[in-house]
Amino acid sequence: MIPLVILGWSTFVLAEEFLFRGLLLPRMYRVFGKRDCFVNAFLFELYSIFQYWMVPFRFLEGWLLARAAKRHQSTWMAFVMRGVEGLPIGMLITVGVISQPLTASPRLIEFPMISTRPAPMTRYLGKLADIPIYNPYSGALFQVDLRGADLSSLDLRGRINDLSYADFDLHTIWPDKNQMPVNFDPTLVLEIGKNPGLGVRDLHAQGITGKGVGVAIIDQTLLTEHIEYTERLRWYEELPGYPSPASFHGSAVASIAVGQTVGVAPEADLYYIGGAGSQISTFWALGHQYAQAIRRIIQINAQLPAEGKIRIISISSGWLPSLPGYQDACRAVKEAGTAGMMVITTDAATGMPSGVYAEGLGRPPTADPVNLLSYTPGLWWANTFYAGTFQNTVERDNMLLFPMDSRTMASFTGASDYIFNRSGGQSWVVPYIAGLYALTAQVDPAITPQQFWNAAIQAGKMIEIQHDGKIYTLGKIIDPTELINIIKDSH
């Protein structure tokens, strides 16, 4: 810790403040007069050009530091200001340094191993005076959030448009049927949303369920007792940090991947490292967190029999190149690949071949999830799509689309609770891919990530959709049945 502090002060004080405010600023007045602070800030901005995203802030910071140093005729004021600036970073570094790593795994692991059981999270909004109005142009998620809300006193007969974009759960209390739109049935919407779609359940009926394949997930805390996956949860461990209740995110991704009624691979074994990204104080060391978790999964996998190995690690997040730990996480991903596991994240550079990237599909709540023509661009990127992006481009031909919106998932509020999520994100695409990979690994235990993606692209389907009187080409949409057939034929 002390070397880090010394290095930071050497950089900020000696290299920057003595140079810009101590040496250059007094001499700039002779050349630039009253513009000396402006020019000093401009040079400070250029000095930081390698952090291009920080350039505007560096200029403002440089001007404030120069003004302070000039007004007090001393660089000490600039030193103090830079010290205050460094306090949050210092605190984050401190957290990263003093936090304990995962304890060493035993030489002989006994399964299942559940190290802790996070408590369910209570969510109750109480009685609402009205429901929110959906704005298709805002881009915000959970605009019509009715999870845990009491709507029993409302008349919603004229609110079908807003209800069509609502998120709700089993704790939502609805008005009497005669106070609801005739074409909106929450129970039906919830049930339809459980289907992974696109023929996945037909594959399950054929025995292609991911049985004998391990799926690992690194995410936030998990409600370990949920009926969707608890019987196949073989490992649950949390990264060091503050104890927290179960998270919405964790239960959702686990059920999408391996849920017994809502998942893509309902008989795959689940190995889960929780707590990743749960605490804001660990953001600075996020890359190291994921690297540590990936290496734990590698340790676990080394003790599994050949017929039950973990084949895929699903991470519905990523790590930034600008933060410490990036290279460590990338090295861990390569180590996992050497150990026979594909790592898939929300970053297109991790888990997918160069030039290939995944995106999520939208679907009206009551549309048939099995029917290819039910799908549209996902709500969060639909406006961009209809503006012309991905039309007749190389990117479109190398973009694979997976079900994302209008999904029913395990809820973090109780062991048998469910939530309907109207507008999803990339976080739901990643576990869907992980589930599909488990299905293909069951069919062909020797499959490689490259073979999987080649087959997935080959199996993709294009459709035409109408929007505002125009026709758009949407695709490639994953075809799970065709994907499995291609794997079988090449096996």
Per residue in 217-272, pLDDT tens? 999 999 999 999 999 999 999 988 767 899 999 999 999 999 999 999 999 999 99
Distance between CA atoms of residues 371 and 276, nearest Å: 36
DSSP state of 166: E
**Same domain membership, residue 143 and residue 259:** no
Tokens at residue 46, please?
Answer: 């250029």
Could you identify the residue written with the tokens 């190389």? 394
The residues, ordered by sequence, that sit 6+ positions from 165 with a Cβ below 8 Å of its Cβ are: 134, 143, 144, 379, 422, 423
Distance between CA atoms of residues 258 and 269, nearest Å: 8
**Same domain membership, residue 182 and residue 198:** no
CA-wise closest residue to 169 among 183, 186, 151: 186
The CA-atom distances, in angstroms, between 179 and each of 125, 150, 185, 326, 430 are: 20, 14, 12, 53, 38
For Cα atoms 461, 462, 463, give the angle at the middle one, nearest 5 degrees. 120
**Same domain membership, residue 272 and residue 402:** yes
**Same domain membership, residue 427 and residue 401:** yes
140 pLDDT above the threshold of 90: no
pLDDT grade for 85, boundaries at 50, 70 and 90: low
In a domain, 124, yes or no: no
The residues, ordered by sequence, that sit 6+ positions from 380 with a Cβ below 8 Å of its Cβ are: 139, 141, 360, 423, 424, 425
CA-wise closest residue to 342 among 310, 317, 367, 308: 310
Helix (H) or strand (E) holding 293: helix 286-302
374 pLDDT above the threshold of 90: yes
pLDDT value, residue 88: 53
Range of weakest confidence among 104-108, 206-210, 345-349, 352-356? 104-108
Count of helices and strands (H, E) across the chain: 16, 17
For residue 313, the domain's CATH number is 3.40.50.200
Distance between CA atoms of residues 21 and 368, nearest Å: 66
Q: Tell me how crowded residue 419 is: count the other CB atoms within 10 A of its CB.
A: 26
Strands 376-377 and 399-403: unpaired
Torsion angle of the four alpha carbons 434, 440, 442, 446, in this order, in degrees rounded to the nearest 10? -110
Range of weakest confidence among 23-27, 121-125, 402-406? 23-27
Note down the domain range covering 385. Answer: 113-119+194-490
| Number of structural domains found in the chain | 3
348 pLDDT above the threshold of 70: no
User: Sign (positive/negative) of CA torsion 72, 75, 77, 78?
Assistant: positive
In a domain, 386, yes or no: yes
pLDDT digits (tens, 9 = 90+) for 173-217: 999 999 999 999 999 999 999 999 999 999 999 999 999 999 999
**Same domain membership, residue 68 and residue 162:** no
Q: Is the pTM of this model over 0.85?
A: no
pLDDT digits (tens, 9 = 90+) for 413-441: 999 999 999 999 999 999 999 999 999 99
Mean pLDDT, rounded, of the chain: 86
How big is the chain, counted in residues?
Answer: 491
In a domain, 106, yes or no: no
Burial 433-458 (b: 16+ CB within 10 A, else e): bbbbbbbbbbbbeebebebbbebbbe
In a domain, 222, yes or no: yes
pLDDT grade for 4, boundaries at 50, 70 and 90: very low
Mean pLDDT of 356-370: 94
**Same domain membership, residue 168 and residue 213:** no
In a domain, 107, yes or no: no
- Note whether 380 and 141 are within 8 A (CB): yes
pLDDT grade for 26, boundaries at 50, 70 and 90: confident
**Same domain membership, residue 203 and residue 337:** yes
**Same domain membership, residue 181 and residue 243:** no
In a domain, 125, yes or no: no
Task: Write the Ramachandran bin of 390: left for phi over 0, alpha for psi from -120 to 50, otherwise beta.
Answer: left
pLDDT value, residue 459: 94
57 pLDDT above the threshold of 60: yes
Distance between CA atoms of residues 212 and 265, nearest Å: 11
**Same domain membership, residue 199 and residue 50:** no
In a domain, 425, yes or no: yes
In a domain, 87, yes or no: yes
pLDDT grade for 118, boundaries at 50, 70 and 90: very high
pLDDT digits (tens, 9 = 90+) for 287-341: 888 999 999 999 999 999 988 999 999 999 988 887 778 899 999 999 999 999 9
- Note whether 282 and 241 are within 8 A (CB): yes
**Same domain membership, residue 204 and residue 88:** no
pLDDT value, residue 99: 47
**Same domain membership, residue 446 and residue 328:** yes
Distance between CA atoms of residues 201 and 273, nearest Å: 28
**Same domain membership, residue 301 and residue 255:** yes
pLDDT value, residue 340: 95
